[in-house]
Structure 1
Amino acid sequence: MAEVIQRKKRDFHHVSRGANAVLHTIAAIFSFLCVFPFLFVVIISLTDEKTLATDGYRLIPAKWSFEAYKFVFQSGDTLLRSYGVTILVTVVGTLVSLILISLYAYAISRKSFRYRRFFSVFAILTMLFNGGMIPTYMVVSQLLGLKDTLWALILPLAMNAFYIMILRTFYSTSVPEAIIESGRIDGAGDFYIFLRIVLPLSLPGLATIGLFSTLGYWNDWFNALLYIDNPNLVPLQSMLMRIESSIQFIQQNSANSSLSMAALQSIPQDTSRMAMVVLATLPIIFAYPFFQRYFVQGLTVGAVKE
């Protein structure tokens, strides 16, 4: 009887070669559909502007050109400085965000914490109600005095209630209470237990939150628009928006000025926009493989409830 049951289990989990080939084909098509838009953007960014205007968008353009990237890189040190600011803000911001979110989520995940419910409700309320743009601006720029500093790009995004809830659920479901109790019996303190026991078991959840935070900091441009006037502190996304605004300004005023018309003809308009997308996306693409090991496991955290 046991052999029959084992045989049925093997038959249930066994996938035939034909079905396996079909599943792999579907996965390959889906992967191609995910990657193709970005590859097409890269192709457009490397297309000659005049060829793009006459032939339209093509997978294999009649003429290749690097003029779009030359135009973007004409800013020289400004572009490199913006890259440096964005990388610094992203790295420091992600670390600060992980520290604050992981500590907050761990505290409200422990049933022994007396104010667990209060701080959970407090975090959830911030997801439902917002103080508004003007009070936030007054707090950041006047009360905290962070205007024209890198902290104005870091602190407003450091805490996220949604990430706290995800990590709290991960702690509750993936970190057994018995392990924590055994650490306390051995005389370990709360911070020692958190650093030596909880964090090593929480790498999938931390990697997921880290990736979300990294994307948030890297793509942020609105805080720079509000709080940054110093050109040396402008991040990459904000600087690319300023380049785009300059192109739009020349386009809108080209009919009133012969100088603007001459400048407009020398600017790779559509291809430069695609080049900006490529420059803003490539670093994140290269960073993703470092998170991929834990990302798939961490994605399922939100589907598990207490």
Structure 2
Amino acid sequence: METYAKKRGDINAIGPSADFALHIVFIILSLACLFPVLVVLSVSLTDQDAVYRHGYSIIPQVFSTAAYSFLFRDAGPIVHAYGVSIFVTVAGTVAALGMTALVAYPLSRPDFRFRGFFSFFVFFTMIFGGGLVPWYLVYTYVFDLRDTLLALIVPNHLLSAFYVIVMRTFFTTNIHPSILESAKIDGAGELRIFARIVLPLSLPVLSTIGLFYTLRYWNDWFNSLVFINDEQLVSLQYLMYKAMKNLQFLNDLAATAGMGDQIAKLPNETARMAMAIIGMGPIVLAYPFFQKYFVKGLTVGAVKG
């Protein structure tokens, strides 16, 4: 007993020290993650000449908002592109989560007759694809999605085979069949079981995959490049991509014409950093939102012992 008490006392004595060390480690890791963002923000608020002379720094050598003035010289398209990106991100994430869950749930049911065939079909699409040209022809000539918001939602992102497999695995390992059987005995149909039992118990995987879908939709610029010709329908990321290309063209033109002094007046590096800050925008708010529901989802279905 004395030996056990002594060991227990040693463990209790080590506990606070271990907690303190873990806090220090996580603080250092958090600062390491935050440091690049602060550098990008600092460079975006630095004069272009100062960047060329002194390089990047955490504190602006010469404060300047020329990069943001350059980008917001015509703020209307940026504000409109923000609206397009926010709508596409929200609508696309909701639609993609619904599609993924509706495909994954039947594949997780052992009593589904064609479970093996459709599971193989989903897995097959992860390995083989038709290529870029057939992909483009299907969405343009078969579905005719050019210059529509659906062109920013459906291609590439609406349904991911990998996320279907991840969600199917979660349903299989975390939704016990006895719960579903109890609901059937009580007279619940398949749709009601899915909506009232399966989805509430699956908030952790829904929030995690939803965050991945959100990032994919928000960061996408390729669909706008391929399918959108209407300037009113382009996403924010594609607009920033065009601004960067235009800025690069002006720099190349000034260098070709021998106007080296004019190149320094263009906010080249600082504009790139300003684009990163602007593109970051509302997506930063998605993390605490999904984290809230992720933590809440971990406690759903918990049984008090």
Task: Provide TM-score, normalisation by structure 2.
Answer: 0.90
**CA offsets, 1:212-264, max 9 Å, x none?**
00000000111111111111111011110100000111111113447x76764
1:155-207 C-alpha deviation (Å, 9 max, x unpaired): 11100011111111111111111111011011110000000111111111100
Tell me the equivalent position of 1:304: none
Q: CA deviation at 1:17?
A: 2.1
Look up the match of 2:62. 63
Secondary structure, aligned partner of 2:168: helix
Q: CA deviation at 1:12?
A: 6.3
- Per-residue Cα deviation, 1:42-96 (whole angstroms, up to 9, x for no partner): 1111111122122221222222111111111112110011111111111110011
Give the equivalent residue in structure 2 for 1:303.
none
1:105, 1:165 within 8 Å by CA — same for their partners in 2?
A: yes
**Other-structure match for 2:198:** 198
Which residue does the alignment assign to 1:136?
135
Matches within 5 A, 1:71-110: 71-110=70-109
The one-character-per-residue Cα deviations of 1:100-140 (angstroms, maximum 9, x if unpaired) are: 00110111011111111111111111111111100000000
1:167 is matched with which residue? 167
Q: In the alignment, is the contact (CA less than 8 A) between 2:49 and 2:264 conserved in 1?
A: no
Q: 1:66 to 1:210 in 2, by over 3 A?
A: same
Is the deviation greater in 38-47 or in 285-294? 285-294
Shift of residue 267, structure 1, vs aligned partner: 2.1
State how 1:1-306 maps to structure 2 within 5 Å: 15-156=14-155, 157-257=157-257, 264-295=263-294
Q: Tell me the CA shift for residue 285 of structure 1.
A: 1.2
Aligned residue for 2:303? none
Question: Which letter does structure 1 place at the counterpart of 2:147?
Answer: D
Question: Which residue identity does 1:77 align to in structure 2?
Answer: G
CA distance in 2, matches of 1:120, 1:6: 55
1:165 is paired with a residue of what secondary structure?
helix
CA distance in 2, matches of 1:66, 1:229: 31
User: 3-state DSSP class of the match of 2:112?
Assistant: coil
Instruction: Summarize deviations over 1:267-306 as a string: whole Å, max 9, x none.
Output: 211111000001111321122100113447999xxxxxxx
State how far apart, in whole Å, the 2-side matches of 1:172 and 1:154 are. 28
- What residue identity is the alignment partner of 1:119? F
What is the one-letter code of the residue matched to 1:158?
L
Q: How many residues align?
A: 297
What root-mean-square deviation, in Å, do the aligned CA atoms of Structure 1 and Structure 2 show? 2.5
Please say if residues 208 and 298 of structure 1, whose CA atoms lie closer than 8 Å, have aligned partners that are also in contact.
Answer: no
Q: Which amino acid aligns with 1:230?
A: D
Instruction: Tell me: CA distance 1:81–1:250, structure 2 relative to 1, closer, same or farther (3 Å).
Output: same
Segments of 4+ in structure 1 off by > 3 A?
3-15, 255-258, 260-266, 294-299
Distance 1:5 1:194, change over 3 A: farther
Q: Distance in 2 between matches of 1:213 and 1:240?
A: 21
SS across alignment from 1:81: helix
Q: Structure 2 vs 1, CA of residues 52 and 144 (structure 1 numbering), >3 Å: closer, same or farther?
A: same
Mind listing any 5+ residue stretches in structure 2 that lack a counterpart?
299-305
Inter-partner Cα distance in structure 1 for 2:104 and 2:161: 9
- 2:301 maps to none
Q: Separation in 2 of the partners of 1:69 and 1:17?
A: 47
Q: Is the 8 A contact 2:200 2:297 kept in 1?
A: no
In the alignment, is the contact (CA less than 8 A) between 1:208 and 1:294 conserved in 2? Answer: no
Q: What is the rounded CA distance, in whole Å, between the counterparts of 2:217 and 2:8 in structure 1?
A: 47
Give the SS at the match of 2:172: helix
What's the % identity of the aligned pairs?
A: 45
Partners of 2:201 and 2:297 within 8 A in 1: no
Distance change >3 Å, CA 117–CA 37, structure 1 → 2: same
Please tell me whether the aligned partners of residues 152 and 227 of structure 1 are also in contact (alpha carbons under 8 angstroms).
yes
Secondary structure at the aligned position of 2:282 is classed as helix
- Residue 39 of structure 1 and its aligned partner are, at CA, apart by 1.2
Question: Within 2, Cα distance between the matches of 1:167 and 1:217?
Answer: 19
Give the counterpart letter for 1:192 in structure 2.
R
| Alignment partners' CA distance in 2, 1:13 and 1:186 | 49
